[in-house]
Structure 1
Amino acid sequence: MTKIGLFTGSFDPVTKGHVDIIERASKLFDKLYVGIFYNYKKQGYFDVAVRERMMIEAVAHLDNVSVVVAQDALAVDLARELGVGYFVRGLRNSQDFGYEANLEFFNKYLAEEIETIYLGTRSDLVHISSNRVRELIHFGAPIKDFVPQSVLKEVEEESVERKEKK
């Protein structure tokens, strides 16, 4: 039986913490999907197409990982469509656990056949969050220790475009 997992998030932007969870989860499954979820009514920092491009580049070294995009969808619906048997969730701290346990409750209610597995974040990555990275980007602070090369590339291109418009 093929083991298929799904790791979801907004990934706005993808961080080294996300990539670590994806790399570790990819070893547990025959196929791992990374689902970029977004709500068209909410403005993200990075456009969804940019998030998808950054993620694809960040996980290109993983043969069994594919990136999918979902707009205004439930994770359980996408999981069923893709034949997923497991949700993968990363945990940084007890706040994450409270949020994730609540999410697991509702996912289990909607799709009892799909299990949730949790992977703890490595201690050197535990403080990295997309929110903090976006704040650093906004103020032009260095982010190279927190994000994969694909994000650095997008931020540099965005910075050049802003300078050219001035």
Structure 2
Amino acid sequence: MSDKVGLFAGSFDPVTNGHLDLIKRASLLFDKLYVGIFYNQEKQGLFDIPSRKAMLEAAVSQFDNVEVITARDSLAVSIARSLGVTQLVRGLRNAQDFEYEAKMAFFNRELAEEIETVFLLTAPEWLYVSSSGMRELIHFKVDISAYVPEAVVKEVEKKFENNPKI
């Protein structure tokens, strides 16, 4: 029997407790789970890729079967194939997420029919937590510690301690 290998991809700018809950639950479904920071070099994020990777690695360090990777300007299915991934993991918060993710699952299946997409519903306590929401709260200097892992709080403090303008 072959290993079950998952890939949960996103921008994780920044990683939230909602992401972490999905990663925890997905890690129980797979022998190996890759968490991929996928990014487009033409899009500017709040945190650079090394910072995102460091925050994510700190947040998932408790999971023995989870590995953080980065991919630039690549299709998830292309990276998935190269890693031997059997399933793509996607989180759903609402109907809008479903519409977007269903379309992506269609094209991913067209491109790599051997890779299945698995949807996990967001836990109710994280339904309204998003990276974009966290970026807005960071901009207005609101405490985000209830919504993100400690590594994110520390990175925000480090990044903006000497910069009054975010």
* TM-score bracket for the superposition, by shorter chain length: over 0.9
Instruction: Give the Cα separation in 1 of the matches to 2:111 and 2:151.
Output: 35
Q: Give deviations 1:59-94, integer Å, cap 9, x for gaps.
A: 000000000000000001100010000000000001
| Structure 1: runs of 5 or more not aligned | none
The answer for the alignment partner of 2:119 in structure 1 is 118
TM score, norm. by length of structure 1: 0.97
Paired residue type of 2:57: I
Residue identity matched to 1:107 = N
Q: Output the CA distance in 2 between the equivalents of 1:9 and 1:122.
A: 18
CA distance in 2, matches of 1:34, 1:159: 26
Q: Measure, in 1, the Cα distance between the counterparts of 2:125 and 2:26.
A: 18
Q: Number of residue pairs matched?
A: 164
Alignment-derived partner of residue 131 in structure 1:
132
1:11-160 counterparts in 2 under 5 A?
11-160=12-161
Structure 1 residue aligned with 2:8? 7
**Aligned residues with identical type, % of pairs:** 57
CA distance in 1 between counterparts of 2:101 and 2:42 reads 23
Q: TM-score, normalised by structure 2?
A: 0.97
Q: Distance in 1 between matches of 2:104 and 2:78?
A: 14
Is there any run of 5+ residues in structure 2 with no aligned partner, and where? none
- 3-state SS in 1 of match to 2:126: coil
* TM superposition shift of 1:161: 3.3
Which amino acid in the other structure matches residue 13 of structure 2? D
1:23-54 Cα shifts (integer Å, max 9, x gaps): 00000000000000011111111101110010
Equivalent-residue separation in structure 1 for 2:147 and 2:122 (angstroms): 13
Offset, 1:22: 0.2
Paired residue secondary structure (1:161): coil
1:162 aligns with 2:159: no
Say what the alpha-carbon RMSD is for the aligned residues.
1.1
Instruction: Provide the rounded CA distance (Å) in 2 between the counterparts of 1:145 and 1:160.
Output: 20
CA separation in 2, counterparts of 1:65 and 1:161? 34
SS of equivalent residue, structure 1 residue 40: coil
For 1:31 and 1:84, locate their aligned partners in 2 and report how far apart those are by CA, in whole Å: 9
Give the Cα separation in 1 of the matches to 2:159 and 2:44.
Answer: 17
Amino acid corresponding to residue 67 of structure 1 in structure 2: V
